Chain A
Amino acid sequence: MTTKIEKIENSLLGEYYFRVEHKSGLTVLVMPKEGYSSTYALFGTKYGSIDNCFKVSGDESPTRVPEGIAHFLEHKLFESEDLDAFERYAKTGASANAYTSFDRTCYLFSCTGNFKANLEILLDFVQSPYFTEKTVEKEQGIIGQEIRMYKDVPGWEVLFNLLRAMYHNHPVKIDIAGTEETIAQIDDKLLYKCYETFYNLNNMALAVVGNVELDEVLEVCDRLLKPSRPQSVERIFENEPEEVVESFIEEELSVSNPVFNLGFKETWLTPERTLKEEICADILLEIIAGNTSQLYRELIDKKLVNTTFTTEYFIGTGFAAKIFSGESADPRTVAELIREKIRVFKENGISQEDFDMAKKKLFGRTIMAFNDIDNLADSLIKAEFLHEGLFDDMELFRNLTLEEINEHLRKTLDERYCVLSVINPAKE
């Protein structure tokens, strides 16, 4: 294997980046940004909380692992026999962190100096697992408190209740960090099994954005990346019906106002949503419920929502939903008004005027996002895992038509697959 380098440019933005297929199997994305003081690096694997049943080539039967293990693994990877990664970063001054989502785990740092030393730490510790019985036990207390913390966050609980009411089988419904019971089942052997399966460089990508040159990244990569053997992993997902589990779910928490999520489950033939589908959905949600919409105005005027009202296209491998969320004294009426408005849009179609305005707004916001190196590194990894390019959405915006938005509207937002999740104030 040799290393292949491609330069990808966009003249409107005046930006470019390099996409490198490194000989080790890793895809490396480098985006130099002139004038920036800091550099942001993200080393990610396409592995998250939903990958809890899989079969590696050569294995006889599938392996099912405890809920929350991807996140547990993320915590533990920072440790090594010698200095842990945080102690090593402390010497360079970088800020380091990591996160686990439904379908990704990423390790990151940002720094204004010592870039190469920091990149060495990042590549080294992510490639050097060290788990023992004792260190696993220690982490259970820390993660146990992390789980508890989220149990008191209404915005988090309302979403996971929604997902549990929406999905019969898809593991998106399980908490990313698992539960105190499931993390108690995790041991060093299971961690090694998951590590070997998903931390294969062929399943990973590195993105570096900011004050950086391609050569310095490649020099460190050549030195530190240990070639991964090719392997195939089959992720096993049970079949997910189109229907939701239940259309209403509620819980009590210590909150002042009720909090709600109204979600519309979508079923697609392919597991991943393309950038184009994502942009269509974002424009559609902006038109239906953005702060320029009639619906938004009506909900505010009728005292039904406040400025926390917002929308999201919630997507990942094998799941997709449009979610309307906010605080309301009367979530059921809000839900009814949203559904009513969708019916009207479905009947009459979207107007050219609404389409043009939403497109202009989101086009501007897309350009704005090119200031922020954290966000760019994240977008590079995300696009790479979808086999798309960072600048593809600029072209998509240019060519998008009203008819495509109307078609997306007809295909989605089906009332039959709609769930309302509410968190009500507990009696103290």
Chain B
Amino acid sequence: MADIKTLYPAKGVKLCLIPTEQFKTSIVSAIIAMPLAGRIEERALLSSLLRRASAKYDDLTKMNRKLAGLYGAVLSSGVDKIGEGQFVSFSVSSVDDRFAIDGERISSECIELLLEILFEPKLCDGVFSAEDVETEKRLFAEKIDSEFSDKKLYSLEAMIEKMCEDEVYSVKRYGSKEKLLSLTPEDVTAAWREMLASAMIQFNVVGNCDGGDIAQNLRERFEKVDRSNPCEIRTQIISECDGEKYFSESQSVKQGKLVIGMRSGMKDKDDDYYAFKVMTDMFGGGPYSKLFMNVREKMSLCYYCGARLNRAKGIIVVQSGIEQENEQKAVAAIRQQLEDMKNGVFTDEDIENSIKGISDMVLSANDLPDTINAWYSGNYTSVEDDEKVSPEEFVENIQKVTASQVKEAAKKVSIDTIFMLKPNGKGVDEDDDED
């Protein structure tokens, strides 16, 4: 991996330049982080409103035609929840200048476009256009609605909402749909100004392009913003739960969805993180994991059954798609596999395999500009957090994990909430007349 240059164009604003000549494309991105509180809905809406148009390209079609003209440059935006922070992000990826048939400077144009989107949006008399705000509200509301159609996602969100009902984390990444629909252009404009002034912001430039200008460019643009008081994000981590919660819901689906939320026992995002990572992977990571080997392969209960560690929040979530009649059997089997992890029922080879699997996956992050960008954005929970661990350093750390650490980590895990989405009978076997 090439040398990463880190600059600070303004207080609480970081710029990471990651030069590499390996790829045919470059990517420039902005990650804007604020606590999961306050104007959540406004910022969620801004993630698509700012992408839609800028002062210079002042409607959707002009913006998209500009991108097409830049050899199909891809402008993406999104909003995520990491721990108890809300992360709004924008990126433009484009082909290298050397492919420009008419000698265009594609990558600098893309950098400029990204900055225009953030700093010079389309405003009428100082506020966002009412028409644009209304359109983006409808589009965002439909995006929220469609989460109901994705039963895996729906069940995960339902479980989190219940498990973390007394924590900030129960708030969705976009806040509430009702509030979103009630926003005015003035609300959104105020949130945009607040975001530029107080969010923690990181810019990444990955690729074969001269990012030298961008630092100066950012300095000039941020001079007009009061950056005296950037925010901080703190996440409440509950390491022990008091008792297990169970709840279920019925819908007209054909397959049941089981979601189990666990407290990992981590005290913060760095507390024995690597041991928890290996432990979760052995428990329910790849096809060599205990959940795959037993719940799927031995018991034939499901097509998928896996566990994921949510580092920033310190929780582990198990998900599986099963027949409702197998719910008890599946829950018992998952409990048993967790017990086995706690009791150290695994071999040194199991740990080695898991470490190899994780290392392999992590190192492959070096092979795409997008994954490099994601890697150096992913750990971003504090601007002072300067330990941007490289994939290679991550692998060094993961290789130090021992059997006893894994066992100790597993012992701290406790089941908090079990959720089952049940078929209500209406959705089943209604398609017998097909074929």
Contacts and interface: CB of A to CB of B under 8 A. Distances in A.
B238 to A, nearest CB: 32
B135 A368 contact: no
Contact of A256 (B60, B146, B435): B146
Contact of B61 (A38, A297, A363): A297
A38 B322 CA distance: 35
Given A95-B286, A254-B149, 10 more contacts: A36-B367, A86-B287, A86-B288, A112-B364, A145-B322, A149-B321, A254-B427, A357-B68, A364-B94, A373-B367
A36 B22 CA distance: 8
Given A36-B367, A257-B142, A90 B287 contact: yes
Nearest to B250: A428
B301 interface: yes
B72 interface: yes
Interface string A349-387: 000000001101111110110111100000000000000
A231 interface: no
Contacts of A57: none
Nearest to B424: A428
A37 interface: yes
Contact of A361 (B71, B138, B253): B71
A348 interface: no
Given A256-B149, A364-B71, A306 B255 contact: no
Contacts of A254: 148-149, 151, 251-253, 427
B146 A364 contact: no
Nearest to A154: B149
A426 interface: yes
A219 to B, nearest CB: 22
Interface stretch (B8-16, B227-235, B352-360, B410-418): B352-360
B162 interface: no
Given A37-B364, A151-B254, A357-B68, A90 B99 contact: no
B149 A93 contact: no
A306 B25 contact: no
A110 interface: yes
Interface string B342-359: 000000010001001101
17 contacts: A36-B22, A89-B288, A93-B359, A138-B297, A145-B302, A149-B304, A151-B431, A152-B151, A152-B254, A296-B61, A363-B71, A364-B70, A367-B95, A368-B25, A371-B25, A426-B426, A428-B426
A233 B42 CA distance: 61
A257 to B, nearest CB: 6
Interface in A88-139: 89-96, 110-113, 138-139
Contacts of A255: 146, 148-149
Given A142-B300, A146-B303, A151-B255, A371 B149 contact: no
Contacts of B286: 86, 90, 95
B366 A327 contact: no
Contacts of B361: 95
B254 A148 contact: yes
Contacts of A357: 65, 68-69
A257 B72 CA distance: 30
A361 B71 CA distance: 5
A360 B426 contact: no
B296 A142 contact: yes
B55 interface: no
Contacts of A290: 64, 68
Contacts of B93: 368
Given A37-B366, A251-B431, A306-B142, A363 B149 contact: no
Interface string B80-117: 00000000000001110001000000000000000000
Contacts of A344: none
Interface in A134-179: 138-143, 145-146, 148-149, 151-152, 154, 164, 179
Contact of A142 (B72, B252, B303): B303
Interface in B413-435: 424, 426-427, 430-431, 434-435
Given A112-B363, A141-B300, A363-B71, A34 B22 contact: yes
B145 to A, nearest CB: 4
Contacts of A185: none
Nearest 5 pairs of A and B residues by beta carbon:
A364-B71, A93-B356, A141-B300, A364-B72, A90-B288
Nearest to A113: B360
Nearest to B61: A297
A9 to B, nearest CB: 16
Interface string A276-298: 00000000000000111010110
B303 A426 contact: no
